[in-house]
């Protein structure tokens, strides 16, 4: 059976972009593959963070996984920092990565420019930790949003390089990226990706937002002066982004949505989209709140998942140490 693996950073509340680009694929793949989905808390440390917030976010993201349909009886759900092999392999892969390769990573360039002189070395080596996350588990498929494609490509290159230099050890993973919905844009600036850590919460719809907040954010989402519902991401990014969100949640194609709103304006479309999102998010939000009311169940799911993940990772690291000649 093929193995799928992916993760979310506990850097804030999970948004509809994370759901459409990544989590919706996890829910599907947990029935078709041996699935590993986890919380990358070490990745969350690559930018300034508050330990209390990180702790809260870990539970919140774990609750979101479950509330959005990831099932611990089907998938292994775990916490990266509970499996020390991730950081061990990351060091080895860092020694295989060329400076030029790391410098080309667009996420590093974007995030480093936001944090200027405070950009950490960890932010620079993040892709090697992500490569370790993937390669430790003999992963075949990595379901992700478009922004993580370059990092999976690096993981592929490192797997191939390691295998060539030290003998066949790693499976070369394939990214799985949806044709549409792989890059949901910010509601307040459709030229930027919807992001958990965006300065303004107006840019994203969180899977924990209440009905009023969802309606308000959709009402104020940036569109254009054309006035008709259309789909042309290059020339009309705002309205096209809203049509994409509507299409991904309802299952109707952009063409069907445009036809449905022929002769109607943005106001009517936004009212319908807000209602679609309210109906989609309300049960997730309620389930999330129930799970968060007693953290015992979440902690136990993560501990059990981490124990299972450790078994797989320990086995792989033995093979790696042996290939590298450091096993005596
Ligand atoms: N806007 C998006 N549209 C579609 N998919 C997205 N993903 C992220 N943003 C979008 C996908 O969600 C998964 C989890 O993302 P992450 O937590 O690893 O961090 P990220 O990619 O950096 O996402 P964020 O929300 O922008 O987080 P911050 O603000 O912390 O950097 C990934 O598969 C990602 O591709």
Q: List, for residues 70-80, the tens digit of each pLDDT value.
A: 999 999 999 99
Q: List, for residues 17-61, the tens digit of each pLDDT value.
A: 999 999 999 999 999 999 999 999 999 999 999 999 999 999 999
> Probe ligand 1: pick from 18, 57, 58, 130, max atoms within 8 Å of CB?
18
Q: Tell me the domain boundaries of the chain.
A: 3-177+294-324, 201-289
Distance CA 307, CA 5 (A): 16
Domain 3-177+294-324 CATH class label: alpha beta
Q: List, for residues 286-296, the tens digit of each pLDDT value.
A: 999 999 999 99
Residue 49 to residues 42, 57, 292: CA-CA distances in angstroms?
11, 11, 21
At residue 306, does pLDDT exceed 70?
yes
Closest approach atom of ligand 1 to CA 12: 30
Ligand 1 lined by 60 (C-beta under 6 Å): no
Q: Are 30 and 66 in contact (CB under 8 A)?
A: no
In this structure, which residue's CA is closest to atom 14 in ligand 1?
8
Distance CA 239, CA 232 (A): 8
Distance CA 90, CA 40 (A): 13
51: Cβ contacts below 8 Å, ≥ 6 apart: none
pTM: 0.96
DSSP helix/strand/coil, 105: coil
> Probe ligand 1: pick from 22, 47, 70, max atoms within 8 Å of CB?
22
Ligand 1 lined by 197 (C-beta under 6 Å): yes
Catalytic residue among 109, 193, 216, 217: 193
In this structure, which residue's CA is closest to atom 8 in ligand 1?
18
Q: Are 243 and 229 in contact (CB under 8 A)?
A: yes
Q: Residue 39 has which token pair?
A: 């919380």
Point out which residues pair with 142 in neighbouring strands. 175
Structural domain 201-289, CATH architecture: Orthogonal Bundle (1.10)
The confidence score (pLDDT) of residue 117 equals 73
Q: Which of 85-89, 119-123, 131-135 has the lowest mean pLDDT?
A: 119-123
Q: Are 64 and 207 in contact (CB under 8 A)?
A: yes
Q: Which of 39-53, 58-72, 151-165, 196-210 has the lowest mean pLDDT?
A: 196-210
173: Cβ contacts below 8 Å, ≥ 6 apart: 5, 134, 135, 139, 140, 141, 142, 152, 155, 156, 159
At residue 210, does pLDDT exceed 80?
yes
Ligand 1 lined by 127 (C-beta under 6 Å): no
Ligand 1 lined by 16 (C-beta under 6 Å): no
Residue 307 to residues 35, 98, 226, 303: CA-CA distances in angstroms?
15, 33, 55, 6
Active site residue 193: yes
What is the pLDDT confidence band of residue 116, given thresholds at 50, 70 and 90? low
Point out which residues pair with 193 in neighbouring strands. 185
Point out which residues pair with 77 in neighbouring strands. 37
156: Cβ contacts below 8 Å, ≥ 6 apart: 172, 173
């Amino acid at each position: 059976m093929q193995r799928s693996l992916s993760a979310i950073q506990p850097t804030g509340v999970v948004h509809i972009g994370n759901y459409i680009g990544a989590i919706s694929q996890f829910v599907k793949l947990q029935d078709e593959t041996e699935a590993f989905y986890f919380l990358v808390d070490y990745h969350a440390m690559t930018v300034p963070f508050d330990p209390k917030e990180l702790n809260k976010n870990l539970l919140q993201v774990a609750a979101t996984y479950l509330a959005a349909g990831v099932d611990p009886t089907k998938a292994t759900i775990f916490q990266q920092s509970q499996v020390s092999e991730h950081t061990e392999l990351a060091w080895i892969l860092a020694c295989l990565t060329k400076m030029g390769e790391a410098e080309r990573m667009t996420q590093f360039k974007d995030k480093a420019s936001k944090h200027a002189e405070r950009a950490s070395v960890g932010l620079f080596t993040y892709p090697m930790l992500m490569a370790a996350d993937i390669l430790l588990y003999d992963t075949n498929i990595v379901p992700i949003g478009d922004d993580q494609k370059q990092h999976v490509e690096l993981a592929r290159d490192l797997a191939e390089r390691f295998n060539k230099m030290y003998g066949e050890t790693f499976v070369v993973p394939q990214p799985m990226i949806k044709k549409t919905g792989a890059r949901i844009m910010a509601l307040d600036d459709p030229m930027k990706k919807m992001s958990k850590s965006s300065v303004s919460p107006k840019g994203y719809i969180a899977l924990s937002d209440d009905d009023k907040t969802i309606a308000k954010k959709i009402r104020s989402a940036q569109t254009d002066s054309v006035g008709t519902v259309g789909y042309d991401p290059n020339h009309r990014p705002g309205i096209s982004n809203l049509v994409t969100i509507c299409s991904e949640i309802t299952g109707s194609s952009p063409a069907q949505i445009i036809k449905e709103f022929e002769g109607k304006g943005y106001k009517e479309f936004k009212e319908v989209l807000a209602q679609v999102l309210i109906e989609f998010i309300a049960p997730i939000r309620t389930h999330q709140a129930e799970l968060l009311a007693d953290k015992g169940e979440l902690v136990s799911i993560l501990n059990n998942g981490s124990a299972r993940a450790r078994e797989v990772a320990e086995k792989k690291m033995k093979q790696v140490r042996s290939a590298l000649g450091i096993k005596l």
